[in-house]
Amino acid sequence: MEFDFLSPVDDEIIEFVKGLSSQHLGSKVAFHTDKEFPDTDQVKMAIIGVLENRGEAKAFDEVDLNPIRKELYGLFPGNWQTSIADLGDILPGNSLEDTYFALQKVASKLIRNGIIPIVIGGTQDLTYPLYRAYDSLEQMVNLVSIDSKFDFGKQEGGITANSYLSKIVLDEPNNLFNYSNVGFQTYYNSQEEIDLIEKLYFDAYRLGEIANNIELTEPVFRDADIVSVDLNAVKSSYSGNFITFTPNGFDGKEICSLSRYAGISDKVSSLGIFNHNNKREESVLIAQIIWYFIEGVNYRSNEYPFGTRENYLKYIVPLETEELVFYKSNKTDRWWIEINFFTGQHNKLKKNTLLPCSHEEYLIACNQEIPERWWKAQRKNSL
């Protein structure tokens, strides 16, 4: 029933794919057409278009995802084993809430079945129904947003692309455990918003900080369930978007590296790419962002959650007031730090005892300092 919200892929794309060689990505994708719907039991990732842009007051013309599909399916895949389907598009509903409802139902169905939805919007307020898709899973959710802004804007007149995070934080049921922003630019965010991020023990990484050391983000994505990409976080000279001019932001290589980190994460179960402006140049970049995400998924190491700790080295670091326990994977050299969650009102968090971290955070602990990531997680747990 949930898939009834999906309309078939445009015939233009089906004809385009027929003209490709058998080596192109498009020839290896199962498509929702007028005649058939892909067998989702055989699918690991599903591409979904959402033709909705009413979350932006200055919305551009109706959303056209055909250029993105052409650019993506015209690429060559890597040595991938993961099966992919294009399930078509969710058309705009009579109201914005109707579109949200449709996306929530479709994404929830896919996630429950172990299929990763790759959602191409539309405006970034579509992150909200993607977050609500996890309600039926009865789990706490970690959201990572690649964005120059925090999107805590006022909700006067309803949710928008600039205020969806406020709705996520305030609405019940509140399943959000952590929000991490990657790439914020200070001059786009008020001091009140920056202070609120600190007050809620969320994580935020400035653009310059990430540009200087992009590996800082790997543990962030490793602990994410949802990754939401605002294409305005990419500088216009790389995205080709000169309608909403962005002089500063990530370059093409950096945004693709972030997407690959998201794909490699064993925990990430949905990806959304939003706020594009129907320009062919931007479609090229979006296609490559999706390509790198798929590439990452194909190289997942399946280290989360731990099936056994036999393949990990355990490090105990005694501090003056705490004893911190770290684990290092023998397989990938990645690190985790142990978090002692309390039981009681947060029973759902009981199993989340290991938090991804970096080698640098282990070294910080060795210097008798408590890593900020560990401290924030403990503080959130005690609220």
Return the pLDDT at 56.
Answer: 79
Distance of CA 92 to the CA centre of its chain: 22
- Helix 280-298 and helix 66-73: axis angle, to 10°? 50
Give residue-wise pLDDT tens across range 253-270: 999 999 999 999 999 999
Per the CB < 8 A criterion, the answer to whether 210 and 216 are in contact is: yes
**Of 45-49, 60-64, 92-96, the least confident:** 60-64
Give residue-wise pLDDT tens across range 179-207: 999 999 999 999 999 999 999 999 999 99
> Cβ–Cβ contacts within 10 Å for residue 313, how many?
12
Q: How far apart are CA 184 and CA 74, in angstroms?
A: 32
Return the pLDDT at 279.
Answer: 74
Q: How far apart are CA 83 and CA 170, in angstroms?
A: 37
The phi-psi region of residue 333 (left if phi > 0; otherwise alpha if psi is between -120 and 50; otherwise beta) is left
Mean pLDDT computed over every residue of the chain: 91
The phi-psi region of residue 201 (left if phi > 0; otherwise alpha if psi is between -120 and 50; otherwise beta) is left
Among 113-122, 151-160, 279-288, the range with the most confident prediction by mean pLDDT is 113-122
Per the CB < 8 A criterion, the answer to whether 268 and 50 are in contact is: no
**Of 129-133, 216-220, 303-307, 367-371, the least confident:** 303-307
Return the pLDDT at 115.
Answer: 98
Beta-strand runs (E) in 215-353: 226-230, 270-274, 312-318, 323-329, 335-338
State percent of the chain over pLDDT 70: 93
Give residue-wise pLDDT tens across range 72-89: 999 999 999 999 999 999
Tokens 């539309």 correspond to: 122
- What average pLDDT score do residues 153-177 get? 86
* The model scores a pTM over 0.85: yes
In this prediction, residue 349 has a pLDDT band, given cuts at 50, 70 and 90, of very low
Query: CA 369 → CA 39, 198, 211, 321, 360, distances in Å?
Result: 52, 19, 25, 11, 12
Per the CB < 8 A criterion, the answer to whether 5 and 88 are in contact is: no
Per the CB < 8 A criterion, the answer to whether 117 and 48 are in contact is: yes
In this prediction, residue 114 has a pLDDT band, given cuts at 50, 70 and 90, of very high
Query: Contacts by 362-365 with C-beta closer than 8 Å and gap 24+?
Result: 362/315, 362/317, 362/326, 362/328, 362/335, 362/337, 365/317, 365/319, 365/324, 365/326
Per the CB < 8 A criterion, the answer to whether 231 and 250 are in contact is: no
Per the CB < 8 A criterion, the answer to whether 140 and 294 are in contact is: no
Nearest partner of 314 among 362, 266, 381, judged by Cα: 362
CA angle 9, 146, 117 (to 5 degrees): 30
Judged against a pLDDT cut of 50, whether residue 347 lies above it is answered with no
